[in-house]
């Protein structure tokens, strides 16, 4: 009985995924009708119940829609985001605009208030997303066997065993790293800050993607650094032609970029672009600080390698942490510093000294056990599904003309509303509804992207989350005067008239 149920569940998911793949490739075009349930059951040699379950699964994920007395049809695709990036970089900004800093403070205050429904914070808020039970058991066992761990420091550059495991895992992203060049840090934010401090000095200019991760803006300001916004395409990433011009003119002292599963746009740069990016930085002797925070949460069958994998002379520093995938409270991150490795070791010692020996050893044992790979496979699948579900909610409830990214990894979506929706105003209206999202202006030092916002899909998709998404759509529709949902294609309209 159990085996049959397990097989049935697996089979309908397999069928749903095969059909979803056909829709993504365009084999099943928007507006086209799916075969009847009975015909599909015959074609795939499965039961009618299995087909119905697969179709309902696709409907929940926003791939198809049911039409009364007509059948199931492929939904019109949510329009892709297609920024027309400016041809020139923005003028260097010594600090973010005051309204950007004020917004960041307001968003942060709402993020930590449990009475708000949070669609803003890019950090999973449920134990469902973390192997807390396994980590807890490993830690308890360690404390029984080695109670003295609590009285020890994992002095810089950090636990040798953990750095060995990190170097082993880096092979999956194409990086051949020496454990001796790795520094364990207090999360990815410290890794990025240390990387900036060893590669720049106050007054220097740092190139950024635009939009970029918004906490980089106050970080740069606190270090006395100027931000230069570099045009960034939502599908292919940083404009390498503009970057090359800036490097040739010696207008940049460093670059921070997130080439894989970028936050907030979700793109992964094509392989050829990653190779060119590495070559440019090495040729011009300018450090690239590569933020790889979401690099292990890619949705493709194979992982796209890090830009660091193509580093020739040590000009690329790779920063990441385990906070998004394993244990936020551990605050364990790391940076591989290339030619700056020794400076990083020393700066870590005078900056925050040591990380926890107990937490480092717990994480080391979990990585050694192979449990991390199993956990990542499940996590990638879940986030890919939740991103699709969130895009389906956007397609149904946000104003016509809304565009959204199709992330290649991670769990954030960037949305561009049609004219008439000011997302700062929308943000303040939603605070009255106890809903927190992040308006697009936060992601630019100059306060651009007034009609954009970032949504996080790293929460349990319960009634509270779905209701908040619907409310965002309602508020946006009220602002611009447009109805919700996707406009019908000509094929759909014709099909509706004849059915």
Mean pLDDT computed over every residue of the chain: 90
Average pLDDT over residues 279-299: 98
pLDDT at 80: 79
Lowest-confidence region among 30-34, 350-354, 389-393, 422-426: 30-34
Are the CB atoms for 157 and 334 separated by under 8 Å? no
Q: Report residue 331: phi and psi, to 5°.
A: 55, 45
Residue 95: per-residue pLDDT: 66
Give the pair of three-digit tokens for residue 384.
């890919």
3-state SS, residue 254: strand
Q: Is 67 exposed, middle or buried (0-12, 13-18, 19+ CB in 10 A)?
A: middle
Instruction: Kindly report which listed range (123-127, 247-251, 411-415, 435-439) carries the lowest average pLDDT score.
Output: 123-127
pLDDT of residue 84: 53
Name the band, by pLDDT with cuts 50, 70 and 90, for residue 6.
very low
pLDDT of residue 176: 97
Of the candidates 201, 213, 317, 291, which has an alpha carbon nearest to the alpha carbon of residue 253? 201
Q: Which DSSP category does 270 fall into?
A: -
pLDDT value of position 3: 35
Q: What is the mean pLDDT of residues 85-110?
A: 71
Describe the crossing of helices 423-432 and 463-480 by its angle, rounded to 10 degrees.
130
What average pLDDT does the segment 376-390 reach? 92
Tokens 């290649």 -> residue: 408
Question: What is the share, in percent, of the chain residues with pLDDT greater than 90?
Answer: 70
Residue 258 and residue 231: Cα distance in Å, rounded? 14
Q: Where are the alpha helices (DSSP H) in 146-185?
A: 160-170
DSSP state, 438? E
Instruction: Give the CA distances from residue 98 to residues 92, 201, 304, 427, 442, in Å, rounded to whole numbers and listed in that order.
Output: 15, 23, 37, 17, 11
pLDDT tens digits, 255-270: 999 999 999 999 999 9
pLDDT of residue 492 exceeding 80 = no
Structure-token pair, residue 380: 């990638």
Tokens coding 286: 């300018």
Q: Which residue(s) pair with 430 in the sheet?
A: none
CA atoms within 13 A on the CB side of 307: 35
Q: What was the pLDDT predicted at 105?
A: 82
Q: In angstroms, rounded to a whole number, what is the distance separating the alpha carbons of residues 275 and 436?
A: 38
Q: What is the mean pLDDT of residues 461-470?
A: 95
The whole-number average pLDDT for the span 308-312 is 98
Q: Are 76 and 68 in contact (CB under 8 A)?
A: no
Between the alpha carbon of residue 37 and those of residues 30, 45, 322, the distances in Å are 19, 12, 44
Task: Identify which of 115-129, 258-272, 477-491 has the greatest average pLDDT.
Answer: 258-272
Contact 305, 268 (CB under 8 A): no
Neighbours of 494 (CB within 10 A): 12
How far apart are the C-alpha atoms of 259 and 274, rounded to whole Å?
Answer: 7
Please say if the pLDDT value at position 101 is more than 80: no
Instruction: Reduce the DSSP state of residue 59 to 3 states and report it.
Output: helix
> Residues for the chain: how many in total?
499
pLDDT level of residue 7 (50, 70, 90 thresholds):
very low
Q: Tokens at residue 241, please?
A: 């032609």
Structure tokens at 118: 């949070």
pLDDT score recorded for residue 120: 87
Are the beta carbons of 400 and 78 closer than 8 angstroms?
no
Q: Which phi-psi region, left, alpha or beta, contains residue 329 (left: φ > 0; alpha: ψ -120 to 50)? A: alpha
Q: Is the pLDDT of residue 9 over 60?
A: no
Q: Which range, of 42-46, 95-99, 464-468, averages the lowest pLDDT?
A: 95-99
Which pLDDT tens digit goes with each residue over 49-94? 999 999 988 887 778 888 887 889 888 778 878 765 556 676 676 6
Q: What is the pLDDT of residues 128-139, one digit of tens each?
A: 899 999 999 999
In whole angstroms, give the CA distance from residue 363 to residue 379.
Answer: 18
Q: Are 299 and 406 in contact (CB under 8 A)?
A: no
């Amino acid at each position: 009985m159990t085996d049959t149920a397990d097989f049935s569940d697996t089979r309908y998911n397999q069928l749903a995924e095969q059909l979803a793949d056909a829709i993504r490739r365009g084999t099943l075009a928007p507006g086209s009708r799916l075969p009847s349930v009975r015909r599909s059951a015959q074609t795939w040699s499965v039961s009618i119940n299995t087909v119905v379950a697969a179709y309902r699964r696709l409907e929940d994920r926003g791939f198809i829609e049911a039409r009364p007395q007509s059948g199931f049809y492929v939904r019109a695709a949510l329009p892709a985001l297609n920024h027309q990036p400016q041809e020139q970089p923005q003028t260097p900004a010594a600090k973010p605009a005051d309204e950007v800093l004020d917004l960041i403070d307001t968003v942060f205050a709402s993020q930590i208030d449990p009475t708000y429904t949070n669609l803003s914070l890019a950090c999973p808020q449920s134990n469902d997303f973390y192997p807390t039970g396994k980590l807890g058991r490993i830690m308890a066992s360690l404390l029984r066997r080695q109670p003295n761990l609590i009285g020890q420091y994992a002095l810089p550059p950090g636990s040798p065993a953990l750095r060995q495991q990190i170097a082993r895992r880096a092979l999956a992203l194409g990086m051949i790293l020496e454990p001796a060049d790795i520094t364990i840090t207090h999360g990815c934010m410290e890794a990025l800050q240390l990387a900036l401090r060893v590669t720049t000095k106050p007054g220097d200019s740092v190139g950024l993607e635009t939009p970029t991760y918004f906490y980089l803006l106050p970080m740069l300001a606190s270090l006395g650094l100027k931000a230069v916004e570099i045009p960034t395409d939502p599908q292919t990433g940083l404009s390498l032609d503009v970057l090359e011009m800036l490097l040739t003119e010696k207008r940049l002292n460093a670059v921070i970029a997130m080439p894989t599963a970028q936050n907030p746009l979700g793109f992964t740069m094509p392989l050829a672009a990653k190779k060119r990016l590495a070559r440019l930085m090495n040729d011009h002797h300018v450090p690239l600080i590569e933020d790889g925070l979401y690099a292990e949460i890619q949705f493709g069958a194979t992982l796209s390698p890090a830009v660091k994998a193509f580093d020739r002379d040590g000009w690329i520093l790779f920063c990441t942490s385990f906070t998004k995938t394993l244990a936020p409270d551990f605050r364990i991150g790391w940076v591989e510093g290339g030619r700056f490795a020794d400076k990083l070791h020393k700066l870590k010692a005078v900056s925050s000294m040591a990380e926890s020996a107990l937490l480092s050893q717990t994480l080391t044992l979990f990585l050694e056990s192979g449990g991390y790979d199993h956990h990542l496979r499940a996590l990638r699948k879940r986030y890919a599904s939740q991103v699709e579900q969130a895009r389906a909610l956007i397609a149904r409830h946000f104003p016509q003309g809304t565009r959204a990214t199709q992330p290649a990894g991670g769990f954030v979506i960037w949305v561009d509303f049609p004219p008439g929706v000011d997302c700062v105003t929308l943000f303040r209206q939603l605070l009255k509804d106890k809903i927190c999202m992040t308006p697009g202006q936060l992601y630019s030092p100059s306060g651009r992207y007034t009609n954009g916002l970032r949504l996080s899909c790293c929460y349990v998709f319960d009634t509270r989350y779905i209701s908040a998404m619907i409310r965002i759509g309602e508020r946006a529709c009220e602002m611009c005067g447009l109805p919700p949902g996707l406009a019908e294609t000509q094929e759909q309209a014709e099909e509706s008239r004849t059915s």
